[in-house]
Structure 1
Amino acid sequence: MREKLVESGYAAGWAVLKLLPEPVVGVLGDRIADVTWRRRGRGVLQLEKNLARVRPEASPAELGELSRAGMRSYLRYWMESFRLPVWNDRKIADRMRVDGIEHLVAAMESGRGAIIALPHMGNWDLAGAWVVRHLGFNFTTVAERLKPESLFDRFVAYREGLGMEVLALTGSDISVIGTLARRLRQGKLICLVGDRDLSAAGLPVEFFGETTRMPAGPAALAQRTGAALMPVTLWYEGPVLRGRINPPIEVPTGLDRSAVNVAMTQRMADIWAAGIAEHPQDWHMLQRFWVADLPSTPVAQAAADEKSADSTSDARQGEPR
C-alpha cells in the first residue's frame, strides 16, 4: 500500500504541477518544506545532524534555520523536476549559469571521454538537461532500482526524455561498470552522483573532519579508461541554478591501483566539501552519511538502512560501486 501511495504521489506531481503557474508551484514547495521541517521527522533531524558537521560553529537556532532552508531547497528540486519535462531549451538555458565549461569541452574534444561526478546538491536533473540541450553532450548515468518497479520505470522514462542513457544498477544482465567504461573509451560522457556509498565496497575518506565512505566507481573508471574525472558542485542563486565544473583530477603516480583510487576519491571529496561549505543549504543529504552515525553491526546497519530507505532520496542515486 505504501509503495502504491508513493507512486501515485509522483504520478500526480508530474501530471499536475506542470500545469500550474510557476509562482504557485514555488509557494507550494516552500509550504510543504516548512510543514515537513516543523514536524521534525527522521529525515529533517538527520539533515540537521549532517549540517552540524558542515557548520560546527552554528548555534542550535542557526542550525534550525539552515535545515529549514535545506528543506526548501530540497523541495525546490522536486518542484522543478516535476515541471522540467515541459521546459523548452530557452528556459533551461536561462535557469543555468555554469563556471568551468571549458574543462568539460576540452575533455570531450580530446576524445578521451569525461566523467562528471556530483554530490547531492542543487538540481542534478536540470544540470543534466542543460548539458544535453545547451552543450550538446548526451551522456550515460546510473539509477538504483526503486520499489515499486513501475516507479523506477517512470524515473527512467523521465530521464531518458531529458536525453540521458540510464543504466539500472542492479537487476539486468549487462555489466554497469563495463558499459560505462565502454562509453568512456568511445569518447563519451558519463555523469554520476557519488557522495554516498555506505556499503562494504565504499572507499573511506575524510569529510569535514570525520570518516565516511564514497563510491570507488568514478576514480576507478578514470584510472581504467584514461577519462577526465571532473567534480562538480551545484547551488541555487535566486531563480538560477549555478554550477562549477572543476578541472580534471590528476592521476597520482608511483602508487598502486588501490591507493590511486583512494587518493583521487579523497581529492574529489575535498572539492565537494569546499562547495558544500559555501552552500550547505543546497546539500540534500537527509540520510546517515558519516560512519560514526551508522549502527555498530552489519545486521543492525542493514535493518536500519531498510527502515530509513526513502524513495525520494533513492531516486537521485547514481553511483557505481
Structure 2
Amino acid sequence: MKAREHVADALYGLGWSTVKKLPEPAAARLGRTIADIAWKQRGKGVQRLESNLARVVPDATPERLAELSRAGMRSYLRYWMESFRLPAWSAERVSAGVEVKDLHRLTDGLAAGKGVVLALPHLANWDLAGAWLTTHLKIPFTTVVERLRPETLYDRFVAYREGLGMEVLPHNGGAAFGILARRLRNGGLVCLVADRDLSASGVPVDFFGDTARMPAGPALLAQQTGALLLPATLWYDDSPVMRGRVHPPIEVPRSGSRAEKTSVMTQALADAFATGIADHPEDWHMLQRLWLADLEPRPADSADGERP
C-alpha cells in the first residue's frame, strides 16, 4: 500500500470512529472549521470547484464565486460530517432529516412493479437520502460504487453503505449491469449517482453550455428492463433537514437506435440535474474535472479530489 493511500485509509477510519461520537453541534462546527481552512488554502480541489461553479453561474463576479466556493466547501464537509455520524443516528433522526417533494413519482413507480432507476448528481448527501429510503420508507435498493484504492478503503465504504441498508456492487465489476437489470425486472429500486462518467466512454451531453460526458447506464437499464427512469436532486437549507425532489420520469424514445435513444435520455437526465444544480450550486460537490474542455489537456489526470 502506498503511503498516501495508507494515510487516506487511516483518516477515513478516524472519521468514522471519532466524529460519530461527537455531539451533532460539535460535529457541525468541526466541519465548518475544516471547510474554511481548506477554502483559505485554495488547494486543487477548491480551485476546481470554483472553476466548475463559474460554468454553472457564468455571470458571477469573482467575489460571488468566492462566496459560492466557500459555501460549497462547507456543504461538502457537512456531507462528510453527516456521513461519519450516520451509522450512529437513530431511525427517528434519519426520518426527520430528509423531506422530499413529489415522492409519489418514486412510490407509484415501484407500486407498478416495473422497477425504478433513481439517478442523482453529487448534490448534498445521497448517503443520507439512501439511509432515509431504507429506514423511513423501508425501501431496499441496489447501488454501484467506484472501487477505491487501497482495497481496505473500498471495504470501509462498502461496509458503511451496507450498514445503511444498501446492496453495494463494485463499479468495475463486469457483472454489475446484469445484477442491476435483474433487480429492476423483479420490481426493485436501483439508485445511481450519474453526473460524472468514470469510464471515459460515457454519453456526450450539453451541460451548462459546454460538452461533458455522463454515464449511459441509467438510460440503458431503463431501455433494457422497462424500468422507470427518475432524476432526483437534493439540497441543504439553513435547517438540519436536507430537502429533495423527484423529477418527472424520462421516457424512452419511440424511435431510433439504442445509441440514439441513450443519447436523448442521458441529455434529458443532464437537463434535470442542471435544474437542481443551478438552483443550489453551493451544494454541488464536484471537485473534479467534468467538462471535456477541462479533461483534454490532461486526460489521465487523477490529482483532483474524489468523493466516493
- TM-score normalised over the length of structure 2: 0.97
Deviations 1:123-181 (A, max 9, x none): 010000001111111000001111110111011000000000000122x5x61111100
Question: Partner residue of 1:124?
Answer: 126
Question: Partner residue of 2:276?
Answer: 275
Task: Read off the aligned partner of 2:258 and give its amino acid letter.
Answer: R
Deviations 1:53-105 (A, max 9, x none): 11111100110010000000000000000000011111011111101110111
Cα distance in 1 for partners of 2:158, 2:146 equals 10
Report how far residue 198 of structure 1 moved: 5.8
Number of paired residues? 305
Report how far residue 248 of structure 1 moved: 1.3
Question: Partner residue of 2:7?
Answer: 5
Structure 2 residue matching 1:230: 3-state secondary structure: strand
Is the 1:233–1:243 Cα contact (8 Å) retained in structure 2?
yes
Cα distance in 1 for partners of 2:209, 2:233 equals 20
- Structure 2 residue 41 is the aligned partner of structure 1 residue 43: no
Gaps of 5+ in 1: 316-321
Task: Read off the aligned partner of 2:94 and give its amino acid letter.
Answer: I
- Structure 2 residue 164 is the aligned partner of structure 1 residue 166: no
Question: Partner residue of 2:117?
Answer: 115
Cα distance in 1 for partners of 2:124, 2:184 equals 26
Cα distance in 2 for partners of 1:199, 1:106 equals 32
Question: Partner residue of 2:195?
Answer: 195
Cα RMSD over matched residues? 1.1
Deviations 1:230-271 (A, max 9, x none): 000000012110010112111111221111100000001001
- Structure 2 residue 154 is the aligned partner of structure 1 residue 152: yes
More divergent stretch after superposition (191-200 vs 228-237): 191-200
Cα distance in 2 for partners of 1:199, 1:5 equals 26
Cα distance in 1 for partners of 2:20, 2:176 equals 33
Deviations 1:17-67 (A, max 9, x none): 111111111111001000000001111001000000111111001100100
Question: Partner residue of 1:244?
Answer: 245
Q: Percent identity?
A: 57
Task: Read off the aligned partner of 2:267 and give its amino acid letter.
Answer: Q
Question: Partner residue of 1:176?
Answer: 176
Q: Give 4+ residue runs of structure 1 displaced > 2 Å after superposition.
A: none
Is the 1:198–1:289 Cα contact (8 Å) retained in structure 2?
no
Question: Partner residue of 1:319?
Answer: none
- Structure 2 residue 299 is the aligned partner of structure 1 residue 301: yes
Question: Partner residue of 2:290?
Answer: 289
Structure 1 residue matching 2:93: 3-state secondary structure: helix
Question: Partner residue of 1:261?
Answer: 262
